[in-house]
């Protein structure tokens, strides 16, 4: 697949099953991403999942994914790995670290299934406690991906629990002191061990970058957004209501200057 890469960017934004929103305001996230690409004078193609990724990546420099359910199957993953080896860049956002969830027993609880998709992305979603307000810390101030981003910033988002797949090859960009999983009993996804919690017992990785061949992957766990159409009863920390936060529509991270700067930096990284 050795081809000259252009400044065209392919955006994958969608939920599962086909046409569903997967609990996220996909139209809003897709629009914001396309606005950022237009701002930088970049051409864009758009898909709802990875099913036709082989049609759009040849000649493309950057893949951006904001998904809730869709993931690369093994054949698609092999294609993307070759594309990365040849110099492509993948910016995975938020639910990109998820994918297939298998029901456990006869109950309603589910467990995330790790696949080759996560090996390439470099991160695997375990679960997340209810949406809450928290501080995000920049772990690497000297990296181009965090240029002009404040040392720390507050947001309201889903506190993702991300298991890093290749620690020795991965450079952390963002962390948060979220502590142990405090999900109410019977909520969230099942997992055997909290392999996302760092050795200090309080820190979690929320952003990282990793080189693959001539290209690389950057993942940022932040970016939840929902509306009444996409999530009628969001799993939100009740204390947010006490703070006067409207939870029916949530776009706090996307409205943050820090997150917008992170995305601008990541797009510049992807097409450089």
Would you say the pTM of this structure is higher than 0.85? yes
pLDDT at position 7 is 79
CA–CA distances in Å: residue 213 to residues 78, 84, 89, 222: 13, 6, 10, 26
* Structural element, H or E, at residue 197: none
pLDDT at position 239 is 56
Tell me the C-alpha distance between 138 and 175, whole Å: 6
What's domain 6-271's architecture? 3-Layer(aba) Sandwich (3.40)
pLDDT at position 108 is 82
Placement of tokens 């097409």 in the chain: 271
pLDDT at position 1 is 41
pLDDT at position 3 is 44
> Quick one: which of 4, 219, 250 has its CA closest to 119?
219
pLDDT at position 240 is 56
pLDDT at position 243 is 41
pLDDT at position 248 is 84
* Structural element, H or E, at residue 36: helix 26-39
pLDDT at position 19 is 84
pLDDT at position 5 is 61
| pLDDT tens-place values along the chain, 272 residues long | 444 567 799 999 999 988 888 999 999 999 999 999 999 999 999 999 999 999 999 989 999 999 999 999 999 999 999 999 999 999 999 999 999 999 998 878 899 999 999 999 999 999 999 999 999 999 999 999 999 999 999 999 999 999 999 999 999 999 999 999 999 998 999 999 999 999 999 999 999 999 999 999 999 999 999 998 886 455 555 555 444 345 789 999 999 999 999 999 999 999 98
Using DSSP's 3-state secondary structure scheme, residue 87 falls into coil
The widest CA-to-CA distance across the chain, in whole angstroms, is 55
pLDDT at position 2 is 42
> Quick one: which of 218, 259, 239 has its CA closest to 62?
218
pLDDT at position 106 is 80
pLDDT at position 242 is 40
108 contacts: CB under 8 Å, gap ≥ 6:
none
Q: How many angstroms separate the first and last alpha carbons of the chain?
A: 19
Backbone angles phi, psi at 70, to 5 degrees: -60, 140
């Amino acid at each position: 697949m050795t081809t000259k890469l252009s400044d065209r960017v392919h955006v994958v934004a969608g939920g599962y099953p086909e046409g569903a929103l997967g609990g996220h305001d996909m139209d809003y996230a897709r629009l914001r991403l396309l606005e950022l690409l237009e701002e930088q004078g970049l051409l864009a193609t758009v898909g709802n999942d990875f099913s036709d990724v082989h049609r759009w990546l040849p000649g493309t420099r950057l893949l951006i994914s904001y998904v809730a359910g869709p993931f690369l199957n093994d054949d698609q993953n092999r294609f993307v790995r070759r594309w990365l080896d040849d110099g492509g860049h993948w910016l995975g956002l938020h639910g990109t670290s998820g994918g297939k969830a298998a029901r456990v027993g006869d109950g309603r609880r589910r467990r995330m299934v790790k696949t080759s998709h996560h090996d390439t992305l470099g991160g695997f979603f375990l679960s997340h406690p209810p949406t809450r307000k928290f501080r995000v810390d920049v772990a690497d101030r000297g990296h181009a991906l965090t240029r002009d981003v404040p040392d720390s910033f507050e947001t309201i988002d889903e506190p993702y629990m991300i298991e890093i797949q290749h620690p020795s090859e991965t450079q952390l960009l963002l962390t948060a002191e979220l502590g142990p999983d405090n999900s109410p009993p019977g909520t969230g996804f099942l997992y055997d061990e909290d392999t996302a919690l760092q050795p200090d017992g309080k820190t979690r990785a929320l952003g990282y970058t990793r080189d693959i061949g001539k290209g690389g992957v950057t993942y940022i766990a932040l970016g939840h957004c929902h509306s009444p159409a996409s999530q009628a009863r969001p799993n939100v920390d009740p204390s947010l209501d006490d703070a006067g936060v409207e939870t029916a529509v949530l776009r706090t991270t996307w409205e943050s200057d820090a997150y917008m700067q992170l995305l601008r930096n990541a797009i510049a990284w992807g097409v450089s």
